[in-house]
Amino acid sequence: MCHALPMLIDKKDKDGNVTAGYFNALSSVFGEDSFDELNKATQWNTFLSRNRGIALEFKQAYDHHSAINLEVRARIDLPPGSDPPASIFDKPIDSFGADNPKVQKSVMEERQLFRAQVVHQRMCALPCDDHRRKAWLANSADEFACSILGQPDVLFSTKRWHASVALFFGLPVKDLAPYIGNRIRAGGSGNSVVDAHGHNLLSLTHSFGGGTSAHHNNLIRVVSEDLERAGVKVKTTGKNGGVDNLFKGPLSGGLPLGDRDRDITNGIIPDMVVDASEFENSAGSELGGAVHLVDMKTHASTSDHNSDSTTRGQVAKNRQDKVNSAYFKKAKWLDHVVHGSHPDEQGPVERELLEYGHNGRVLGPVIGVYGCGSSDLSLLRDLAAFQLARKHTEHHNMDFFQARAMFKKKLNRSWGQHIARGWASMLLNRLRDYVIPSTPSCTARPAYSDHYGPNSGVVNDQFNYFHGLARGVNQGG
């Protein structure tokens, strides 16, 4: 109504220029000049004074939505003396919707924002070690994690789906219930037992079978393949020249390394080298103009998640920041051991490290147990989406920004659901290998196929059929 009704009669802008209405004969209903730019504060006065028909429906709708939004806002706990957040309903009904072509959208977004603030406060009030609180702070604002609530792009078994959803919400995992309290048979786990949420299994430090590595390597493969599909040059271990010899030159010509120092050298071998040097550096693709080292980290539920911080995504950010500082710390150590460099000077290894990234920064995308991905993973996604959109608009009549948004959503779903399924797979595999009696010995098992595979069309048709049916779409036949 707020958008359509003002178009029915003539209206003037501040300079007196007239925009003709579609049915100017209705000016007696709305009030002549009511929708002029200078009369926005009272544009509905004449219309509402009739108090019948569509005017009455307008007022009832305003009162209904106003009551809901303001009631939700009233539940937000505010510091003493502070004002409540602004609402679209703070303005009187006489000027409601002026200068807002999408009133309904604004009303619903405001309501969701207020509700999110209420939920955030309730979650933050829970004990710091409550898994619901930890999950909310980790993933409630994360686009990758929240993708599990939408259309599936990745194949899940029923048990893996249940486990993924439980991990996302910080709830007990149903399949662990019969084994809660059972000892975990894994080397170095001590007296660790199965907990309802599965985090003792996920955080094992001495386990066989390659679960953590399989999850980590699968994400590297998925991300690198999407980047290559976007036209970005990527090197990974054993692919496109590999990444093992990046610092071979700076490490030569000095003293030989001992075993301990060789372990440190392994610590500055990245998972990927992403060459975005030929692309522009823009707000939509901030990695352009440089070659980046990428070292991806998986982060299970550790004591870090018990922080009293109420900042969403803080745990993943803290872990991500450590990646870059660790690289430079190891580079300085190697320069000292091999070349005798002093701590306050740059050696060959550190200088080589500074050749990568923007100002030498190493990307450290973090994959959290609650399904989240840190901001560096978002930068890689933005790079891929930007280039995919450029390629797409070369052959399709589509706005670039719409295409970029489309690919961002698609990558959010794919990467986010791979993250969620990887944690769920690791949890259920470790339950089978270390807890349930009479199971085969621990061996590495192949990861799930990435997407639906050869029957993807059939699967998607099936999903679309039932999804449409749930919305009441007539399927015919």
Q: Are residues 284 and 183 in the same domain?
A: yes
The pLDDT of residue 456: 43
Distance CA 121, CA 307 (A): 16
Residue 169: CB atoms within 10 A of its CB come to 16
Q: How far is CA 267 from CA 52, 257, 274, 350, in A?
A: 74, 14, 18, 14
Residue 299: CB atoms within 10 A of its CB come to 21
- Can you state the angle between helices 158-169 and 131-139, rounded to 10 degrees? 90
Whether residue 454 lies inside any domain: the answer is: no
Range of the domain at 92: 5-123
Q: Are residues 302 and 436 in the same domain?
A: yes
Closest CA to 434 of 212, 177, 183: 183
Distance CA 213, CA 298 (A): 9
Q: Are residues 223 and 77 in the same domain?
A: no
Q: Residue 84 has which token pair?
A: 């409540």
Report residue 19 CA to chain centroid gap. Answer: 44
The pLDDT of residue 30: 80
Indicate the helix (H) or strand (E) that contains 366.
strand 366-368
125-161 per-residue burial string, b: 16 or more CB within 10 A, e: under 16: eeeeeebebbbbbbbbebbbbbbbeeebbbbbeebbb
Whether residue 419 lies inside any domain: the answer is: yes
Whether residue 130 lies inside any domain: the answer is: no
Whether residue 30 lies inside any domain: the answer is: yes
Q: Are residues 83 and 180 in the same domain?
A: no
pLDDT 10s per residue in the chain (477 long)?
777 787 888 788 888 888 887 888 787 788 788 887 887 888 888 888 877 788 888 899 999 999 999 999 999 999 888 899 999 998 888 888 877 778 889 999 999 999 999 999 999 999 999 999 999 999 999 999 999 888 788 899 999 999 999 999 999 999 999 999 999 887 555 568 999 999 999 988 767 667 888 899 999 999 999 999 999 999 997 666 667 778 777 777 665 666 555 666 777 889 999 999 999 887 678 999 999 999 999 998 777 888 888 999 999 999 999 999 999 998 888 888 888 888 888 888 889 999 999 989 999 999 999 999 999 999 999 999 999 999 999 999 999 999 999 999 999 999 999 999 999 999 999 999 889 875 444 444 444 444 434 444 444 444 444 444 444 444 343
Q: Are residues 177 and 280 in the same domain?
A: yes
The pLDDT of residue 255: 59
Q: Are residues 441 and 323 in the same domain?
A: yes
Cβ 288 vs Cβ 229: under 8 Å: no
Q: Are residues 424 and 323 in the same domain?
A: yes
Maximum distance among all Cα pairs of the chain, rounded to whole angstroms:
93
Whether residue 139 lies inside any domain: the answer is: no
Question: Alpha helix (H) ranges present in 183-274?
Answer: 199-202, 211-229, 248-251, 259-266
Please state the domain count of the chain: 2
Ramachandran angles phi, psi of 343, nearest 5° = -60, -30
Whether residue 338 lies inside any domain: the answer is: yes
Indicate the helix (H) or strand (E) that contains 294.
strand 291-294
Indicate the helix (H) or strand (E) that contains 275.
strand 272-275
- Can you state the angle between helices 400-434 and 211-229, rounded to 10 degrees? 160
The pLDDT of residue 191: 66
Q: Are residues 318 and 388 in the same domain?
A: yes
Whether residue 463 lies inside any domain: the answer is: no
Report residue 358 CA to chain centroid gap. Answer: 23
Q: Are residues 118 and 174 in the same domain?
A: no
Whether residue 409 lies inside any domain: the answer is: yes
Residue 196: CB atoms within 10 A of its CB come to 17
Q: Are residues 195 and 259 in the same domain?
A: yes
Q: Are residues 334 and 422 in the same domain?
A: yes
Q: Are residues 179 and 289 in the same domain?
A: yes
Q: Which residue has the tokens 């493969």?
A: 221
Distance CA 378, CA 372 (A): 11
The pLDDT of residue 455: 41
